Structure 1
């Protein structure tokens, strides 16, 4: 465990990971989820946030017919998308989106490599982590879906009003599944 991580409660060791050879995608995602939970140990709200984002990202991706390789990248990115929060708080004293984007890619790369993700996927995930609060020039379905999933969770967690929901729906959401989730969850119609 890293020096800045919280200590595990006594008797609650993380399950031993498999060797990186011959791991399935599901096994790597499972191990990544456990490592990220350990990384944010003691911060229930932060853990709940990325678990929800990962679930919505998968739901949107499957609804949009995303291919398996892009889905794997997306799910990994959704799990670690906020890994830059704690380094941002430690370095700058705040968790701003821009600081997260600056400080999140490197620990994301390391964590994914430890789990056994290939270098190209580690780089794409690091790119997504480093841009998930940037809503212009979204390049790729994995990026779009990550942003939509994060918005679905943030709009709820922040107690956003219907005007903010409608605005996000019009300015951010592009996928049919993401729009449907937004409209259904918040019982609002998004025009455009």
Structure 2
């Protein structure tokens, strides 16, 4: 499962698993049925354990051929279950992305408002002729103060614009534009004796 935002930015990626008891397609009279959650958990634990602890055991050519011949049917039968699970997980991921967007856009608003208050206090502190009296005969410092005052006014104007646009721009980054769910693999757990 992959969720993409603006400009194909990857917002979320997750591997999903669907497990089922395998029945030879030659004798299968209905589609594969996914295990319940607890059985699925045990099956996945068994898979991970076998991958970590046991070296890969060779499987007979006959069994490999049998599995390969039925693989596309197995995927087709399990795909609706994968899609259903993927939709639920995508919805949950989108909720988390929306919460993150809200949190980050509020944080940006707070940062910009803090900057604005700080600059406004600084402007007040150095406003009027009293600032020039603090620096008598210091032409370089007075010139720097006037440059700073111009910059502060420009920055306050740009902060007004940023307060209107930046929080929304951040929220838009987390808007899901596309979802992609596709099978990426198929694993068969086969008994060593088999």
Q: Considering the TM-score relative to the shorter chain, is it more than 0.5?
A: no
Band of TM-score, shorter chain: under 0.3
Query: Which gives a bigger RCO, structure 1 or 2 (Cα 8 Å, sep 6+)?
Result: 2
TM value normalised by structure 2: 0.21
Which structure: greater strand fraction? 2
Larger Rg: 2
Give the structure-1-normalised TM-score: 0.21
